[in-house]
Structure 1
Amino acid sequence: MKILRNQIKIYLSLILLGICLFAYAHPFYVSIVDIAYSSSKKTIEISTRIFYDDLEMALNHDGNTNLNILKPQRKESIDSAIAAYSKKYLKVSANGMAQGLKYIGYEIEDEVAWCYFEIPQLQPLKKLEISNRMLYSNFKNQSHIFHVTVDGLRQSTKIDNPKSFVKMEF
């Protein structure tokens, strides 16, 4: 009976270890891009959710640096790297006109980095075009899910590497 109990403990320990390893190493590469426009605010608000370790790897690879998002020596250097990386790989066009992203900041929640951007948009938003190549050079299986809400109307879509372009009309 004692041998059986020890075997059960070993099996349970192995199962628990496997679950912990699976939970830590996410086997999929996906980001979520939330875009919201309200006529009353006259601003396009963009938030991206990216696994922080994937973002950190991409920033370090792209900028040939050694940044630590969780424990930055200088938060300004992370902000600067995210702003430059996003400007390079995330492009937005509203009503046929290219727009510049204003980087607001980032925060970490569990395993995810939330990055925030704004674009002033004085005219009603009728057409939105997005090119998102973030993380593509690091992960061949990278996907981006887009949720776009314009004055309460929501559209969603997904693209997979190498596809990088989304067009929505409202």
Structure 2
Amino acid sequence: MLLRKLKYSFLLLCVAFFSVGAGIKHPLHVSTTEVNFNAKDKTLEVSCKIFSDDFEAILAKLYKQKTDLSNPNMKKVMDELVKKYLLSHLQLKANGKAVAMNYIGFEIDHEATNIYLEVEKIPSVKSVEVSNTILYDMFDDQMSIVHIVKGPNRKSTKILYPEKKFTANF
């Protein structure tokens, strides 16, 4: 049943992305977050994908300034806003303890923005909890697809507003 729901969610996400590429406003408010345990480097590698138009809109609304994630001349200012927003709307716990994420950066990928973060010094992972409120302050129909990966094990779910947490145990 969960697999079917995830396939359906993935299909909806694909439709939304292709609709944006065709010049149609996307009908869904979706973001994806993946947390990958890198056993070799003892880190949690975090990546988020958010529709750029929605992300720019919330950054402009919250921080009351012009936003343009694709403008190279604004990269430094945008990095600060993206970092501030993500660190306040995405929190992780590893093995039941809150962990600090380091902001790595962002890049534009067609109509989406990919954001990268990292948690260092994680010797092993028995559980990961994600608390995700990305774009909740903009849309009350926001859906977050979350993947947590440890080696060959992948645990995924969708979080629908107003829910915000997902825990994966390994």
Q: TM-score, normalised by structure 1?
A: 0.84
Match of 1:147 in 2: 147
4+ aligned runs moved over 6 Å, structure 1: 19-22
Larger Rg belongs to: 1
Match of 1:98 in 2: 98
Amino acid at match of 2:122: L
CA deviation map 1:4-60 (0-9, x unaligned): xxxxxxxxxxxxxxx889743101010111111022220100110110111111111
Matches within 5 A, 1:1-170: 23-170=23-170
Give yes or no for contact 1:107–1:114 (8 Å, CA) kept in 2: yes
Aligned partners of 2:20 and 2:39: how far apart in 1? 45
Cα separation, partners in 2 of 1:20 and 1:137, compared to 1, 3 Å: closer
Amino acid at match of 1:62: L
CA deviation map 1:96-135 (0-9, x unaligned): 1111111111111110100000001332111111111110
Amino acid at match of 2:135: L
Q: TM-score, normalised by structure 2?
A: 0.84
CA deviation map 1:60-108 (0-9, x unaligned): 1121211111225321110000100011111111111111111111111
Aligned partners of 1:27 and 1:128: how far apart in 2? 31
SS in 2 for 1:73: helix
Amino acid at match of 1:120: E
Give yes or no for contact 1:52–1:112 (8 Å, CA) kept in 2: yes
Give yes or no for contact 1:72–1:78 (8 Å, CA) kept in 2: no
Give yes or no for contact 1:79–1:106 (8 Å, CA) kept in 2: yes
Amino acid at match of 1:148: I
Listed as ranges, the gaps of 5+ residues in structure 1 are: 1-18
Cα separation, partners in 2 of 1:37 and 1:20, compared to 1, 3 Å: closer
Q: Kindly, what percent of the aligned residue pairs are identical?
A: 32
Aligned partners of 2:57 and 2:20: how far apart in 1? 22
SS in 1 for 2:73: coil
Listed as ranges, the gaps of 5+ residues in structure 2 are: 1-18
Give yes or no for contact 2:30–2:50 (8 Å, CA) kept in 1: yes
Amino acid at match of 1:66: K
Amino acid at match of 1:164: K
Aligned partners of 2:168 and 2:31: how far apart in 1? 19
Cα separation, partners in 2 of 1:38 and 1:20, compared to 1, 3 Å: closer
Amino acid at match of 1:136: Y
Aligned partners of 1:23 and 1:91: how far apart in 2? 33
